[in-house]
Amino acid sequence: MDDQPVPSLLELPRAQALVLLAGLGAGRLVADRAAPGPAGLVVVNHLVEGERVYLRVHLPPGGAGHPQRLTYLAQRIDPEEHTGWLVRVTGAVRRVVEPGELARYRVPMRAWPDEDNEHLLLLRPERLTAYHLTRGRW
């Protein structure tokens, strides 16, 4: 009988997924059929407030802007143990342009070095999945 730990995924409830996402700090855009990721759009970091996910992004100069839908992935995985957390969010996005709202989120999301190309997007989760990667035994 083999007593080696094997990787396994434990799906987590939505509320716990939002808590985990809040603690992960940064992630990346991923392409999927529901919300293909745009070329050249780079996520710098994120902030979770209730059911809303704010993404600080860098848009390339002269680009077409941001898409209407995105899929965002944040994870913390130990490379040796292959354990950790994975949170994936898909939903509609809008660019935040109101000065008061921009000022409110600018401080907790750190300084923005390139304000001409830095933007704030609000992602409203429609699909939200989270997994705890564990090592179990057979």
The pLDDT, as a whole number, for residue 120 is 87
The pLDDT, as a whole number, for residue 123 is 93
Ranges of residues in the chain whose predicted pLDDT is under 50: 1, 138
The pLDDT, as a whole number, for residue 48 is 92
The pLDDT, as a whole number, for residue 65 is 63
- The predicted-structure confidence for 39-61, as pLDDT tens digits, reads as follows 556 676 889 999 999 998 876 66
Inter-residue contact 129 to 11 (CB < 8 Å): yes
Report the predicted TM-score, pTM, of the whole model to 2 decimal places: 0.80
The pLDDT, as a whole number, for residue 105 is 82
The pLDDT, as a whole number, for residue 138 is 42
The pLDDT, as a whole number, for residue 125 is 94
The pLDDT, as a whole number, for residue 57 is 82
